Amino acid sequence: MNQGFSYFFWHIVEATQNYFNAMSGPDFTWLLVGLLGQVLFMMRFIVQWLHSERHQKSLIPISFWYFSLLGSVIVLAYGLHKTELVIIVGQLPGTLVYVRNLMLIKNEKSKKDQKVI
């Protein structure tokens, strides 16, 4: 890389342009779907961090599980569409865990509501 940073930068820009120019409309749509799923999945960590900072101890709010589930399902849909086995295998078990955690939270809330009555 003896031509410097500007050569490297413009090479990346050109490669990116070629990548998007070769992409069909539906492929671009699925790319956006996959990126949306990844952003939602990332948001769970931000929500958990802010919630823990607010309470000054490590806590996991219910929104963490919803962001996890939504992000995971969307990324899983992307993986299924692209037939990417690594993404499918990586997201499928987590999706089940997120659903189960939400079920446990709902059951716990129902038990608390019954005790109040």
Instruction: List pLDDT tens digits, range 7-35.
Output: 888 989 999 899 889 999 999 999 999 89
The CA R_g of the chain, rounded to the nearest whole Å, is: 20
| Residue 90 domain flag | yes
Q: Give the confidence band of 97 by pLDDT, cuts at 50, 70, 90.
A: very high
State residue 63's pLDDT score.
92
pTM (two decimals): 0.71
Q: Within 10 Å of residue 90's Cβ, how many Cβ atoms?
A: 14
One-character DSSP codes across 79-100: HHHHT-HHHHHHHHHHHHHHHH
Give 10's DSSP letter.
Answer: H
Range of the structural domain that residue 49 is part of: 25-116
| Residue 89 domain flag | yes
| Residue 93 domain flag | yes
Domain count, the chain: 1
State residue 104's pLDDT score.
94
Q: Give the confidence band of 115 by pLDDT, cuts at 50, 70, 90.
A: confident
| Residue 9 domain flag | no
| Residue 108 domain flag | yes
Give 3's DSSP letter.
Answer: T
